[in-house]
Structure 1
């Protein structure tokens, strides 16, 4: 026998065992059950919230905008609809692009959204800045290629385009590659 057991045996004390009280048992059991019951719904709701981020992103959706032979050197406003899926919300949004040909005959499309504060720019709408995109909100203006000349900190964004079967198709916005 070990020294402790001999002392306990000779002194008449029972050796102490570490036992869990009923109160501790109930606390552990109820705490574990409560954590499980809260954890399962949280995990499912987290999956629900994160699911749109986990979906495989498709390539750009091409939208028919204008007939290629109607595009001129002078920029023209073209309106089109895009089907937008934002999480579980789907709708058709009306968008606009300024479509023109450059001096080499290459077609390009620019966003009409001013890079200063998001107002809509118009082509050749200011007597002070002829043959430029002009923002009436704060006086920003841009070249035909979308290069910022005053106020705005960046050039106009550019739409991805393709010409197919006599039509110009537009897709996602990207930073301007022309300037």
Structure 2
């Protein structure tokens, strides 16, 4: 005994099938977009090896250049940046050169009146050697730190984080 499908049942099945395909066509890309960060390789914690050896680092802050690959959407570029690196006892410290006031670049001992401080030329901002902002000058916060290490005798620079020295 076979059952006959009525016109109404056929239209109902057809509309349900087409509606299901349309819903899947919209929901699958949205689900992939929401879960995409789980499928990406994490670059956090990756360290960039510089050309400066740990033996070259002294108690005087030294400009250490490093290069890394940066990907913006589909465009990959090579970016060169630098850090102010110095030794404090057995510890190696790397500070960001970006002023917390307006994002200008700070330099070590550039101001003759303050030879033992970082100087920001934009608005005469001053920072102590550990990155602490000098009261009464424009910066409102300390310089950021870089994660720093040593690999095969060379300095490695990692992610930037808030200053923990002050």
Residue among 85, 94, 97 paired with 1:112: 97
- 1:75-154 map, 5 Å: 75-102=61-88, 104-149=89-134, 150-154=137-141
- Structure 1: how far apart are the matches of 2:101 and 2:17? 55
Contact 1:52 1:87 in 2 (8 A): no
* Deviation at residue 140 of structure 1 after TM alignment: 1.6
Q: Is the 8 A contact 2:84 2:95 kept in 1?
A: yes
1:36-81 Cα distance to aligned partner (Å, 9 max, x none): 6764444344346445533352441111121111112111111111
Q: How does 1:1-179 map to 2 (within 5 A)?
A: 39-47=23-31, 49-50=33-34, 52-54=36-38, 55-65=40-50, 66-102=52-88, 104-149=89-134, 150-179=137-166
Higher RCO (CA < 8 A, seq sep 6+)? 2
5+ residue gaps, structure 2, are 1-7
After superposition, the C-alpha distances for 1:2-60 in whole angstroms (9 at most, x for unaligned) are xxxxxxxxxxxxxxxxxxxx9xxx9xx98x78976764444344346445533352441
**Residues 43 and 67 from structure 1, CA distance in 2 versus in 1: closer, same or farther, beyond 3 angstroms?**
same
With over 3 angstroms needed to count, the CA separation of the structure-2 counterparts of 1:173 and 1:38, relative to structure 1, is same
Give the CA RMSD over aligned residues: 2.8
d(CA) in 1 for partners of 2:124 and 2:107? 11
Shift of 1:114: 0.6
Unaligned 5+ residue runs, structure 1?
1-21
Cα deviation 1:107-140 (Å, max 9, x = unaligned): 1111101111111111111123221111111222
1:84 aligns to what SS in structure 2? strand
| TM-score w.r.t. length of structure 2 | 0.76
The TM-score with structure 1 as length reference comes to 0.71
